[in-house]
Amino acid sequence: MTKENNPRGLHVKVKKKRGLKSSSRRWIERQLNDPYVRQAKADGYRSRAAYKLIEIDDRYQLLKRGQRVVDLGAAPGGWCQVAVERTGSANDDIRVVGIDYLEVGPVSGAEILLMDFLAEEAPERLIETLGGAPDIVMSDMAAPTIGHRQTDHLRTMHLCEVAADFAVRTLKPGGHFLCKTFQGGTERDLLDLLKRNFRTVHHVKPPASRDGSVELYLLAKTFKGRRDEAGPAENDEDDEAGPLG
């Protein structure tokens, strides 16, 4: 990480102000002192989340030129930016399609649908816009938190399950699936689905995930292809959660 916005690496503190909540002040302070936030501004990425995908891809070599990619929960667009760079997607040959119910500013080389992925027509629209089956389905979706850890976990797990179902129904053979979940136990049904349909399944926590964050990424590699009945998993691997390195 570079230190151009804080060249001496000093900790920046935000003064207490009338009307500014303590939680808001802590969030601003954290942002100002986060090297990934500073680096994202320097590199032109929409958010620090771009480095999570970069770090995962650097290790597992998922994104390749010419591939088709679906980005679920694309806002604010950082993952789309990385996918465009690494696949060579261009405005005259779109290879990256994102979707979010939040508005996302245009990303050159990507098409982003403004709609809820849970809408019935969303999967068909994604594949139609992409122009073919995806090589990679990736999801950084997380349900809005309410502060109750178990409820927040279950709501995000539901998004993981829907994203995994979409991946299994649309991926090319040999494709990959990456989604965000929370530590606290991955639902067994989801893991069983992935192990039946992919060669390997990994739990990954990239360095760009903040210290103390409960987020974790589930990576299923090498889709076996659709078949009438899934047989027993072959050469499955379920890595323990841990940092990249």
Which residues are part of the catalytic machinery? 180
H/E segment holding residue 218? strand 215-223
100 is in an annotated binding site: yes
> Token digits for 206?
């990239």
Helix ranges, 18-108 (H): 22-33, 35-43, 50-60, 78-87
The Cα–Cα gap between 218 and 51 comes to: 16
Q: Are 219 and 57 in contact (CB under 8 A)?
A: no
Query: Phi and psi dihedrals of 129, rounded to 5?
Result: -70, -35
189 is in an annotated binding site: no
116 is in an annotated binding site: yes
Q: Are 184 and 151 in contact (CB under 8 A)?
A: no
- Which of 28, 26, 36 shows the shortest CA–CA distance to 5? 36
- Which of 136, 138, 78 shows the shortest CA–CA distance to 105? 78
One-letter identity of residue 129: T
The Cα–Cα gap between 28 and 20 comes to: 11
The edge-to-edge listing of strands for the beta sheet with 69-72 is 110-114, 96-100, 69-72, 136-139, 176-182, 215-223, 198-204
State the binding site.
77, 79, 100, 116, 140
State the binding site for S-adenosyl-L-methionine.
77, 79, 100, 116, 140
